[in-house]
Chain A
Amino acid sequence: MSRWTDLLMPHLLLAPILLPMLTGGLMLLMKEEHRRTKLVLNIASTSLGLVIAVALLMWVKRADASASIGVYLPGNWAAPFGIVLALDRLSAMMLLLGSLLGLASIVFAAARWHRAGVHYHPLFQFQLMGLSGAFLTADLFNLFVFFEIMLSASYGLLLHGSGRARVQSGLHYIAINLAASSLFLIGVSMLYGITGTLNMADMAVKIAQVSDADRGMLHAGAAILGVAFLAKAALWPLNFWLVPAYGAATAPVGAVFAIMTKVGVYIVLRLSTLLFGVDAGASAHFGGVWLVVGGLLTLGFGAVGMLGSQRLAHLGGFAVIASSGTLLAATGMGNAGLTAGALYYLFSSTLAASALFLLVDLVERWRNDGASTAAYAQLGDAPYLSADLEPLTEEDFEKDDDVLVGRAIPGAVAFLGLAFMACTLLVAGLPPLSGFIGKFAMLSALFSPAATTPPSTVDATKWAFMAMLIVSGLLALVAFSRAGIRHFWAAQRSTVPRLNLLEGAPVAALLLGCAVITVQAGPVMRYTEATARALHDPRNYIDAVTLARPKSYPTQASEPEKAAARHGGVEKAETP
């Protein structure tokens, strides 16, 4: 495979964007009756995308440190003037994660959900396209465009299946994201006005040279841009839209949305290390303290939310928020070892959240006799309020006792229960699964003496981070155990769930993914450590992007004067 990758390499970088775009475009040409063809096409394309993501990851991993960054100039113009796509270890990892979730989600949807509305398949592909583009682009405005592609597809997917709850939460979700996009544009244009560039690598170089008079403006622009990303990364108090939206979305859509908050985390991590790293002069570590404080508050909010939620889907939404808070706080610390642990945790917690969203749908349908939401959820009532406060009168315990003894657990119930237990362990961060390893790696990096701590982190924040991480794990454990007891042990219905292979397999595969990174924790941690080192010392990235030269045209030799004019123009424009 590696020989093939080498052959295709600079161009293969474009494939994660082009493949979903072409597939989605092709599907738009087909009528809605050809849903089966579209489904086959969708699964094939998403599988191919996974293969490409694995190939890109192998390429990035295999190459030595100096050459491990793939740069593609789509317009054949050198860095600050043309659009640049860049692939480094972090992008490759996020691409792999995105395509894993995509494949699990579409296989799950094949059983049932893709029939719930129109245009599911093209929207799904455009969503994947926007995600890949956001991970690959090295240009701020291009990032905006890919964000909008991703978001507009997500609006459609969130509304998939329609219904009052989805339309209501969709309305809020769209309004929030439109407002955040406005902030995004204001931030980007302020940064452009001060540094005169939109290329992230070029901006990293220019930021150290910004005059002191402009520095306040620069920080304001970066902060506004940061607010836009943090609203997507679900930082408290910008995250009230998340739980209703994710709870109302159909299960496979929720499974893909699990990575949407991570896009915000990804870009905060990328920009904070690139623009405000150690080389940024007076701006070094700008906003780090805010990220730590905001992240810890978000983590607390997520943990308390989990404890207070009675619906399983809300539990999943708050788990996403808690994981986001952990990652943002870890990013704000600006410590390479901690970032390595956080990246491992990101991979594990995203897989777990995605599996949880799929699992919740199976459990809810079993509990509600086939309906995907319970009657109380449609009325907006709390389901268990009376169950705790009033004695159950209808149950006749004496009579049921004989029947319960010696009854075998149906396989499907056992599967659902075990999968729920695995999700509990992963979200709460208990051994033996990968959630524990991620949290342990973060904590050990936090207190390791070798860690180069930036001046902004004092001991108090470290202890606060540790306390929050452990307490939130405990609260998650309490919340999940309670939910598990209510849904599996105290189940009043005795119907056996019908488990479709197409729906069971993705859940099992996602959890198996977590098991694999648990067993292979050594190689995975080495990869994330190399990623974190490269992030905190971004010179390789900056050099790779700014030094990439355009290919010469075949016709250029015959028209030397034209080429000379073009290069003359470029050189003059470089000196403002």
Chain B
Amino acid sequence: MEIVLAIAIGVLTGSGVWLLLRPRTFQVIMGLSLLSYAVNLFIFCMGRLSIDQEPVLQAGLPPTLLHYDDPMPQALVLTAIVIGFAMTALFLVVMMASRGLSGTDHVDGKEDELPATDSPAPEKERAA
């Protein structure tokens, strides 16, 4: 179970970082989302992995972490998810504004100087 989770986190982080370094805003936002998924899973597994153990106290079972799952990382993940979601939404708005103002989805607001192979025809789309 540990190795599966570790690989999942690694793949998500790797893809997230790669996308984050790409020049298009949509790729960046996807990268940030993948990165936040990886981080959420990471926080979750920092409370140690366990099967069939709830973080809810039960009568007769001593209240130590041997018998229960750690509730703390779960609370942290919940907060991190909410905050991450809000931030992604906000980034989306800024991304749209940037697209509208500059007419391109490049993160710098202008296309590279190199001859672009897939020019997105900004004039036409801005008019639309």
Contacts and interface: CB of A to CB of B under 8 A. Distances in A.
Interface of A: 141, 144-145, 148, 152, 155, 159, 162-164, 167-168, 170-172, 174-175, 178-179, 181-182, 185-186, 188-190, 192-193, 198, 569, 572-573, 576
A168 B46 contact: no
A383 B43 CA distance: 49
B46 A190 contact: yes
Contacts of B25: 171
B90 A174 contact: yes
B33 to A, nearest CB: 10
A178 B63 CA distance: 37
Contacts of B50: none
Contact of A192 (B72, B87, B90): B72
Q: Report which residue of A164, A167, A170, A182 has the largest number of chain B beta carbons within 10 angstroms of its beta carbon.
A: A182
A152 B89 CA distance: 11
Interface in B10-51: 20, 25, 28, 32, 35-36, 38-39, 42-43, 46-48
A189 B46 CA distance: 6
A179 B35 contact: yes
Given A141-B79, A569-B63, A168 B86 contact: no
Contact of A175 (B20, B84, B102): B20
Given A141-B79, A174-B90, A198-B72, 15 more contacts: A141-B76, A164-B101, A167-B102, A168-B98, A168-B109, A171-B25, A171-B91, A171-B109, A175-B20, A185-B43, A185-B76, A186-B39, A189-B43, A189-B76, A576-B65
Contact of B63 (A170, A171, A572): A572
B5 interface: no
A329 B32 CA distance: 31
A416 B72 CA distance: 54
B15 to A, nearest CB: 14
Contact of B39 (A145, A182, A572): A182
Contacts of B102: 164, 167-168
23 contacts: A144-B80, A145-B79, A152-B90, A155-B90, A155-B94, A162-B97, A167-B97, A168-B98, A171-B94, A178-B36, A178-B91, A179-B20, A182-B32, A185-B43, A186-B42, A188-B76, A189-B42, A189-B76, A190-B46, A192-B46, A192-B47, A192-B73, A572-B62
Nearest to A158: B94
Contacts of A179: 20, 32, 35
A576 B101 contact: no
A576 B90 CA distance: 41
Contacts of B54: none
A188 B48 CA distance: 15
Contacts of B62: 572
B83 interface: yes
Q: Report which residue of B39, B64, B84, B94 has the largest number of chain A beta carbons within 10 angstroms of its beta carbon.
A: B94
B95 A171 contact: yes
Contacts of B88: 178
B76 A171 contact: no
Contacts of A198: 72
Contacts of B79: 141, 144-145
Nearest to B95: A171
